[in-house]
Amino acid sequence: MNTSKTKTIVLYAVFCTTLFDVAMANCRVLADCDNGQATWKDLSRGATGRPGKRGMKGPVGQKGEQGLGVNITELRSLLRNRTKGPKLYYYASTLTWQTSKSFCQRYDRNLCTSNQLCIRRNGTVELIDDVLSGDHWVAVLDSHNEWVEIGDFHGNPCFLHSQRWGKPNWGITTEVHSYKGHVYCCNRVAAVQSEAPDVRYQFIGKAATYSSSVAHCVSQGRRLCYSWEACKSNNPVLGSVKGDKWIAVQDRHNEWLQIGNSLGRTCKIHGGLPGSPSWGLREDGSSIKWVGYVYCCKNTDEDQG
C-alpha cells in the first residue's frame, strides 16, 4: 500500500499598502503556512523578519532620532561637508526659536543674524539665497524669539517679524504652522563676530517717524546713531542708498541724515539745510517714500551711565 506523506509548505508574502509603509517597514507578513493554515504577522518598524535561505535578515526599519524626521547620519555628513556661509535646512513645522538655536549649536554652528542673511546689493537689501515661494520665517540671532521673512508672501523678504507685528507667540511654542520649519545656520566664528555689529541697519517701514525710530532702537537695547557714527568721510558706513533717503540720528531731537545719493546731499543733516522737518514728527501714520530705514548703534558706557 502506498503511503502518502503530508508536506509542510512554508510561504512568505509581504503586503504593504503604500510606499510610506514600505519605507517605514510597517508590513503584514504571511508566514508559517503549515498544512494550509496561514498566520498573519505584523512587522513593525525595526522588527526583524524570518531568516531567508541564506540566513539574511528580513525587513529592518532605519533607526530614527527623536525630534528629527531625517536620516541623522546623512544630515551630519551634509553639515560637515558644507561649512562656509549661511546654509538652509528643514527641521519640522513644530520648530521654535530655541530649537532652531539648539539645532545649529549641535553641529558647532550658530543661528545666523539678519545681517548675515540679508545683504546690501545695488542699494537694496536682499536675501543672500534664493527667496522661497510663500510665507516662510527663520529664527535669527538678533534677539530672543526674533524671526526674519525669507519667502515672497509679503512682497519682499528680509524684514524682521518684530518690525511689523512684534515678537510672534508661535515662535516659542511647538504648535504646527506651515510658515515655520526652516533653519539657517552660520559658521560659529562668523556669527559671533557679527552678532552685535557697531551699527545695525534695518528697514522699519515708510510710516517711520523720529519717535518710532528711537523706539525701534531702544527695543533692541540700542540707540539711534549720531551722524558722525553713521557717516565716515562723507559716506554712509553701510553704503549709500539710491535716491532720496533719510534716517533719524541722535544729534538732536528730530534730526535726520541723508543716506541717499540724491542731489549730492549724501551725509548731510536736515537741520543744516532747511531745518528740522515737520514730517519727522507727524502723528497721522502716513507713509512717505524718503523714510523707512534706521541705523541703531551699540550703547556705550556713557550712554548707559
CA–CA dist 153, 128 (Å, integer) = 17
Q: Are 287 and 268 spatial neighbours (Cβ–Cβ below 8 Å)?
A: no
CA–CA dist 298, 196 (Å, integer) = 8
CA–CA dist 250, 294 (Å, integer) = 11
State mean pLDDT over 162-186. Answer: 91
- Give the whole-number percent of the chain exceeding pLDDT 90: 31
Dihedral over alpha carbons 162, 168, 171, 177 (to 10 degrees): -120
DSSP 276: S
Q: What Rg value do the Cα atoms of the chain yield, rounded?
A: 30
Mean pLDDT of the chain: 75
Tens of pLDDT, residues 28-38: 544 444 455 55
The rounded Cα 84 to chain-centroid distance in angstroms is 17
Residue 96 is predicted with a pLDDT of 93
Q: Are 148 and 72 spatial neighbours (Cβ–Cβ below 8 Å)?
A: no
Model confidence band, residue 242 (pLDDT cutoffs 50, 70, 90)? confident
Residue 121 confidence (pLDDT) above 80: no
Q: Which three cell numbers stand for residue 51?
A: 531568516
Residue 305 confidence (pLDDT) above 70: no
Model confidence band, residue 235 (pLDDT cutoffs 50, 70, 90)? confident
Tens of pLDDT, residues 77-119: 555 555 567 889 888 899 999 999 988 888 788 899 998 898 8
State mean pLDDT over 229-258. Answer: 89
Model confidence band, residue 237 (pLDDT cutoffs 50, 70, 90)? confident
State mean pLDDT over 1-18. Answer: 41
Residue 128 is predicted with a pLDDT of 86
State mean pLDDT over 209-223. Answer: 91
CA–CA dist 154, 166 (Å, integer) = 16
Which of 136, 49, 28, 40 has the alpha carbon at shortest distance from 88?
A: 136
- Give the whole-number percent of the chain exceeding pLDDT 70: 65
Which of 250, 254, 247, 246 has the alpha carbon at shortest distance from 282?
A: 254
State mean pLDDT over 46-71. Answer: 45
Residue 71 is predicted with a pLDDT of 54
Residue 73 is predicted with a pLDDT of 56
Say which residue, 169 or 203, is predicted with more confidence. 169
CA–CA dist 269, 96 (Å, integer) = 42
Instruction: Report the amino acid identity of residue 186.
Output: C
E strand segments, the chain: 13-15, 27-34, 37-43, 87-90, 109-111, 118-121, 124-127, 137-140, 146-149, 182-187, 199-203, 222-224, 231-232, 235-236, 246-249, 255-258, 293-298
Q: Which residues pair with 149 in a beta bridge?
A: 137
Q: Rank 34-38, 123-127, 132-136, 260-264 by mean pLDDT and report only the highest.
A: 132-136
Residue 238 is predicted with a pLDDT of 79
Q: Which three cell numbers stand for residue 202?
A: 534695518
Which of 105, 184, 99, 197 has the alpha carbon at shortest distance from 150?
A: 184
Residue 37 is predicted with a pLDDT of 54
